[in-house]
Structure 1
Amino acid sequence: MKRSILVLMVLVFIGANTEAFSSKARGKVFIGDTIVNYFDKSGNSVGTKLASHSYECIVPVGDEPNRFFNIVSYYTATDSMKSFAYSRDSTAGVFGWKYVGESTTYHPNGQLKSLEKFDINGSAIDSSYYYYPTGKLKMLITQVESGQNPFTGSPITKPYYLLYLDSLGNYLLKRGNGFIRFDYDNGDYIEGELKDNEREGKWTGWNMESRYEEHYLAGVLQNGKRFRANGELISYDADTRESAPIPSLKMDQFMKAISRQIDLPDHLIAQLKSSIINVRFIVNKDGRLSDFKYDSDIPSGVKREITTAIQRVGPWKPGRLQGEPVAISYTIPIRL
C-alpha cells in the first residue's frame, strides 16, 4: 500500500473517532509532523520498513494547549491495522504508551484482539475485553479501586480478572479464581493460578530466550529461578527481581558532569520555550545509551549537543529483570 493511501487512512480514522473522544482534541492535523517508527516481531526498533514486522504512525491532532497524538500501528506484511489509540505524549515511556480514551488492537487476520479504556492520566478504567483470532472471547478484566494517589488524589486501580476461557470456550477462571495465561506478540508468556485475584503457587513462563518459574504466596513473590540455555541457574526474590539502570556516577554528580559538557551558543538557547529539556533514551543490555528522543520543538543543534554530552559521561550499569540484563527506557531533565 502506498504511503499516500496510509496517510489518508489515518486521517479518516482521526475524523471518525475524534468527535466522540473529546471536543478539545478537534483541530488541524499536522501531517508534516507525522513520525513513523519500525519494529521487529519482538518490538525492537529497526531502521526500515523492509526489515520490520510492524510500524506505527504518530500523528499530532489539535492545537498546542490541547494536543493529542494519534498512535496507529500496522502489520508490515499486509499493511492491515495492528492497533489504534490516542496519547497525550508523542513518546512511549518506561511502561509503554500512556493512552487516553479507547485503545484497540487487532490480530493479523483483522479480528479484534483487545478493547481497553484509559482515563486522562493514562490509567486503565472500566472493563477490558480480549479475544482469540477466531473472534471468541478470551479474557474479561475490570478495574477496581485499590487506593488513592497521594500526589494527585486520583484513585489507583488494579485489574480484577473476571473471566478467562480457552480457545474452545471452556471457562478456566471465574471471578479471580483459576488458571490464567498471558501471551505476548513475541512468543513470551506467563501462566499460573490465581486465588482471590492474586497469584498463588508456581507460575511458569518464557522470556528473554529462556524459561523461568516463580513461587507466590497471596500475590507476593517468594522466590524465582531462571534456567538459561547454557545450563546456568539464576535465583532471585522480590527484592532482586527488578533493578533500574544506574549511571556511572551518582545521579547528582552525573547531572553536573553533563552540564559541564554542554556548550550552546546564545542564539540556540533563545529558541527554547523552556529552560528544562526532557531527554529520553534507552539504556541497553551492555550499558550503552541509544535512541535519544526529544520533544519536536527542540532545535537539532541543541539535541546533538545534549546527546553528545550525555554519552561522554560514560556507560551505565544496565537494569535487570529476573536476573537478566535488559534494555530500559530512561528519562532525565536537562536544565540549561
Structure 2
Amino acid sequence: MKAFVFLLFTLCFNRVFAQKIRINPSGQLIHIGTSKDTIIRFFDLEGDFLTTKDKSYYYRQVYPVSNEPRRLYRVQAFYTDTNLPKFSGHSLNYDGKTLKYFGETVSYFPTGKVESMELYDELSYLIDTAYYYHPNGKLKALVYYEPNKTEAQANFPHYLLYLDSLGNILLRNGNGFFRFDYKNGQYIEGELVNDKREGIWTGWDQSKYEEFYKEDILINGKRYLPDGKINTYSAETMEQAPKYHGDLMADVELVMRGVQFPLEFFEKYKKKTILVSFVISKSGATEDYEIEEDYDLEIKRMMIEAMQRLGKWTPAYLKGIPVRVRFKVPVRFNFELIMH
C-alpha cells in the first residue's frame, strides 16, 4: 500500500499489555509472557494493518531494550500460521508510529530461510554491504551502500553482483541485468549501466507494465490493463493522491456538528485535536477507521460513525492503477459552537 501524506500521516500502532516472546532454535514460538511495554500489530499479506490476529499473515512486536535518552527497541515479526520468524532487528527512539531501523536487520522467507541481511546507520539509512538470497538459499545479490558523511540523505547503492537461482552471474559492478523483487510477486527488471537504470524495464504489479529510463530517470511508463486498455504515465503523474469530492474540512465540521456528544466530553477533551485515520480503497470507498490515543470508546464510536457519513473519494493511483492508502485527518472542534 502506497502511503500519501494528508495534513498529518503516521504509521498505525496498537499498545497491548501482552506478549513478550521467546523463540527456540528452530524459530518456533514457545512462550508468551507479559510486558506492558510491548506493542503488537497484525498485518495482512499486503502489509496492511488488521485489528485482530484472525486472518493476519504476520504479526510484529516492538519493545524497549535500553533506557533513555537514546532508547533502543527490539523489532520482531512472525508468520502467523507457523510462528516462524519473518523479521528481526532494532529501532532507535521508537515513538509508537515510525520504525527507525538501526544496526543489522534480517528478513526471512516463510520457509525459514534467510531472505536478506541489511545494515542501517543512526539516520536509518542503509550502509555497507547488503546480502539478498533466493528462496532456495542461493545468493541473489550483493549491494553496497557507501555511508554518506556530508548530508542526511539516502546513500546511493552500488550493485556489486546479481545471480540467478542457479548461481549464474548476470551483473557485475553495476553493469548488467538486475531484478528488484517486492512483496506478493511484484517485481521490475532491466539493465543497469554504471548502477543506473537504462532503457526499457518491465514489471508486474497487479498487471504488466513497462517503463523507459534514461540515467535512472523515469521518462515514461505504460500500464497494460486486463481489459486491453493501456494507461500511460510520467514521473510527475506516476503517483496520484486520492481526491475528496468536496471541501473535506468543511464537510468534517458539518458531520461533527450533527453529533450529540455528551457534555463530559467537552470538559475532558477541551481544545483537543483528535486524529481519525481510515483507508481509502481502490474503489474510493472508506473503511478500517480508527482513532489512536486513549480516548473513551463511546467517543471513538461516535466520531467514526460521523466520519463515515462523508462523501465519496477518487482513489489514489500508482503507475496507472488504483491502490489502497491510509489517510489521517485532524479533527479540531469549536466547542462553543457545537455544544448542545
TM-score, normalised via structure 2 length: 0.74
Paired residues of 2:252 and 2:310 also in contact (CA < 8 A): no
Paired residues of 2:41 and 2:61 also in contact (CA < 8 A): yes
**CA deviation vs aligned residue, 1:106-144 (integer Å, no higher than 9, x gap):** 112212111223345544344322112333321222334
In structure 2, which of residues 184, 190, 193 is the aligned counterpart of residue 192 of structure 1? 190
Paired residues of 1:248 and 1:254 also in contact (CA < 8 A): no
Query: After superposition, where does 1:1-336 map in structure 2 within 5 Å?
Result: 7-9=20-22, 29-30=35-36, 34-40=39-45, 42-43=46-47, 51-52=55-56, 54-61=57-64, 70-87=74-91, 88-91=94-97, 98-144=100-146, 154-208=152-206, 210-250=207-247, 253=250, 256-257=253-254, 260=257, 264-265=261-262, 267-268=264-265, 275-336=272-333
Query: Aligned partners of 1:160 and 1:187: how far apart in 2?
Result: 24
**CA deviation vs aligned residue, 1:14-56 (integer Å, no higher than 9, x gap):** xxxxxxxxxxxxxx9317x65341424x44566775644x220
Query: Aligned partners of 2:77 and 2:276: how far apart in 1?
Result: 24
Letter of the aligned partner of 1:314 in structure 2?
G
Paired residues of 1:29 and 1:61 also in contact (CA < 8 A): no
SS of corresponding position for 1:305: helix
The percent identity for this pair of structures is: 37
Going from structure 1 to structure 2, the CA distance change for 1:193 and 1:283 (only over 3 Å counts) comes to same
Aligned residues: 305
Paired residues of 2:198 and 2:214 also in contact (CA < 8 A): yes
Paired residues of 1:268 and 1:301 also in contact (CA < 8 A): no
Query: Aligned partners of 1:257 and 1:116: how far apart in 2?
Result: 49
Query: Aligned partners of 1:184 and 1:156: how far apart in 2?
Result: 19
SS of corresponding position for 2:284: coil
Larger Rg over CA atoms? 2
SS of corresponding position for 1:278: strand
Paired residues of 2:59 and 2:79 also in contact (CA < 8 A): no
Query: Aligned partners of 2:137 and 2:109: how far apart in 1?
Result: 10
Letter of the aligned partner of 2:40 in structure 1?
I
How far residue 328 of structure 1 moved from its aligned partner, in angstroms, is 1.2
Larger RCO (alpha carbons 8 Å, 6+ apart): 2
Going from structure 1 to structure 2, the CA distance change for 1:49 and 1:251 (only over 3 Å counts) comes to closer
SS of corresponding position for 2:158: strand
Q: Corresponding residue for 1:16?
A: none
Q: Which runs of 5+ in 1 are unaligned?
A: 13-27
Task: Choose 319-328 or 177-186, whichever is displaced more.
Answer: 177-186
How far residue 179 of structure 1 moved from its aligned partner, in angstroms, is 1.0
**CA deviation vs aligned residue, 1:230-257 (integer Å, no higher than 9, x gap):** 2122122222211011222345545655
How far residue 275 of structure 1 moved from its aligned partner, in angstroms, is 2.7
RMSD: 3.7
Query: Aligned partners of 1:44 and 1:288: how far apart in 2?
Result: 16
How far residue 180 of structure 1 moved from its aligned partner, in angstroms, is 0.6
Greater helix content: 1
Q: Which runs of 5+ in 2 are unaligned?
A: 1-17, 26-33, 334-340
TM-score, normalised via structure 1 length: 0.75
Going from structure 1 to structure 2, the CA distance change for 1:175 and 1:261 (only over 3 Å counts) comes to farther
Going from structure 1 to structure 2, the CA distance change for 1:133 and 1:332 (only over 3 Å counts) comes to same
SS of corresponding position for 1:157: coil
Query: Aligned partners of 1:37 and 1:56: how far apart in 2?
Result: 4
Letter of the aligned partner of 2:169 in structure 1?
Y
